Structure formats: structure tokens, C-alpha cells
Structure 1
């Protein structure tokens, strides 16, 4: 389509979710039924999140959001879980320099609510109150990852103090 007989308009940028899936889900309640009894102290909850991306073609990317965590008191593991939740995304009509941040920020941002609900359901079904993870700012994680990788890349500078 050409507006007023000029150059064709560039196609609009698109980010499409082609598929979503659970690659791996594990929930352990290793000390049941003792872990299900009222506890004297609030458990310490530790959560780790990682994002992995693999190109499948020039426009299609496999993104996996890996979330693992546990809840412990000082002498007892209440539960542990691991979830690898993935999606296949198609990114079109986007400048090449913008693809990397889209893959590692926007794609996991779209996957997160589904992973969060799966974890909440697993903890509830394991006999505990549902664990609702706080929202994650994937742009902060992306910037941290880029800052860690910058000194390792050829031509990068290393600042020492």
C-alpha cells in the first residue's frame, strides 16, 4: 500500500506467540507429612529465574523461562520446585538491533504470567498455600546480563579501579 502515491509503507513490527508449553515441571514435598504441620517460623523462600533463547530460523525463536525455588525453615525443607516453561515466538519487521532485547525481555514477559500460575497451582496442590511470584522486570535482568557479558566480548573494555 502506498500513501499518496509515495513509497510503500513498511510493514508493522510483529511479535507472535506460536506455541507455549511446559518442558519440565517438578514439585517435591520431601518431608511430608511433617512439612504440612504448622511451623513455628515463617519459611525462607528462595527463587531463581533464568531465560534461555535459541533461534529456530531467521524469524522464529524458542524461549525458555526456567524458574526454580524452595521453601525452608532452619531445619526442614518444606518444598522444592522446578519449572521450565517455553514458547515459540515469531518476530517480523523489526530492525535487527532490536531483536535481541525483544527476545530476552518481551518474550519472557509474555510467558511469565503462565509460569507464575503453574507454580501457584503446584504449591497449592502440594498441600501449601499457593506461591504467587512477584512480577519480574525482565529489562533489569537483561541489562544485568549485558553488563556481565560486555567485558568478555572482543573489543569490550575492562575497567579496573
Structure 2
């Protein structure tokens, strides 16, 4: 056997496509919301969904929802589902979680941030630029929480 034949499967990662899968913008209290002083509170929600399309081919969908309120009135709600198709192979099972749950959403976030900003401006509101999100930390936190819940569930039985 040659040296090349004995080596483990070569790792490969490529972005096949990045696209906006779904977009929603609502301003339920317009035009009245424009009459007052603009000092909103913002809420940001993030979620990811992973679909295996074929062997080593995955669709990752990053959902970003931002709402802005002035007191108890909603100024706007914007929701963007930014997706990508990724070819990923040669990684261990332990490595695939962070690849799909942190690395891919990290690549998608700048696209989603741009769509959110554009929609907010087109809704006649001041520009909103979302701050960078540490998907590695979010993934680690989610993973830790899932492990703790599994341990707690195991302790009940």
C-alpha cells in the first residue's frame, strides 16, 4: 500500500450556495409609530435548522428575528431565513456538530445581517446593524445545556 492509500479520508468543505429562503417585515403600528421619539428596545432571536440533502451535502438555515418596540407598541418585526448549501466530508461525528451548528451559521450571519438592515431602512426606520454573534459560544452553551438535560433525565429513571 502506498502512503496515500493509508491516510484517513481527506477533509473537504465548500459552500455550494447561499440564499435567502424566507423574508418577512411587519410594521403593525405605522404610521402612528413615526410620530413619537425614536428610542426603541430591540429583541434578537436566532435559530438554526439543519437538513441533510444527500451524503455530505447539508442545508443550514439561520433564522434571525428582530423586533423593535417603543413602550408597548411594536415598531417593526423583521424575520430572515438565510440558508446555505454546504458540502462537508471527512470530519468526525464530534466535529460535524460544531461545523453545522456554529461554523456554517457564522458564514451565513453577515448575509442575514445585510437583509435585516435593508428591510429596516426600506420600512423607513433608522438603519439597524446587528452586532456580531459568537456562534461557537452559542453552540457550546446549547450543547452543554442538552447534556445537562440528558443527565437530569437519566437520573429520573
- When normalised by structure 1's length, the TM-score is 0.84
* Helix, strand or coil at the partner of 2:28: coil
User: What are structure 2's unaligned runs of at least 5 residues?
Assistant: none
Cα distance, 1:152 vs structure 2: 4.2
Which among 48, 53, 57 is matched to residue 54 of structure 2? Answer: 57
Which among 20, 23, 38 is matched to residue 21 of structure 2? Answer: 23
Structure 2 CA distance for aligned equivalents of residues 121 and 37 of structure 1: 22
The count of corresponding residues between Structure 1 and Structure 2 is 153
Structure 2 CA distance for aligned equivalents of residues 145 and 104 of structure 1: 10
Q: Does 1:139 align with 2:128?
A: no
Residues 150, 156 of structure 1: 8 Å contact kept: no
Which among 64, 75, 79 is matched to residue 82 of structure 1? Answer: 79
Decide whether aligned partners of structure 1 residues 155 and 27 sit closer, same or farther in structure 2, where only a CA change above 3 A counts.
closer
Structure 1 CA distance for aligned equivalents of residues 63 and 15 of structure 2: 18
Cα distance, 1:35 vs structure 2: 1.6
Cα distance, 1:89 vs structure 2: 0.5
User: What are structure 1's unaligned runs of at least 5 residues?
Assistant: none
By percentage of residues, which structure has more helix? 2
**4+ long deviations beyond 3 Å:** 9-12, 151-158
Decide whether aligned partners of structure 1 residues 156 and 147 sit closer, same or farther in structure 2, where only a CA change above 3 A counts.
farther
Matches within 5 A, 1:1-161: 7-8=3-4, 12-39=10-37, 42-153=39-150
Per-residue CA deviation, residues 81-135 of structure 1 (Å, 9 max, x unaligned), is 1111111111123233211111111100000000000000000000011211110
